[in-house]
Amino acid sequence: MADQQEILSGLADIVNEETGVEQSEVQMDKSFTDDLDIDSLSMMTIVVNAEEKFGVRIPDDEVKNLTTVGDAVSYIQNNQG
C-alpha cells in the first residue's frame, strides 16, 4: 500500500501529465478547480489514471466530493487493497 507521500507524488505526476501543472504545485491543501484550474473533463481523466495507478475504484458520485488534493489522497489511502 502506498503511503500519503507516495500517493501525493503519484497524483502530482498524473496531474502534470494531464494538465501541465507543475508537480510542486500539487499540494494537499490545493483545490483542483480553484487553485489548479482543472476542469471536469481533465478531472475524470485524472481519476481514471489514479484508479489504475493505485488500484482503487472511485465511483462517479464520489468524485464530486474530492475537491482538494488532500481529499483525493485521503480517499485513495483509505480505499487501497
Q: What are phi and psi of 31, to 5 degrees?
A: -85, 135
User: What residues are annotated to the active site?
Assistant: 39
Burial classification of residue 23, based on how many CB atoms lie within 10 Å of its CB (0-12 exposed, 13-18 middle, 19 or more buried): middle
The b-or-e profile of 53-71 (16+ CB within 10 A means b, else e) is ebebebeeeebeebebbbe
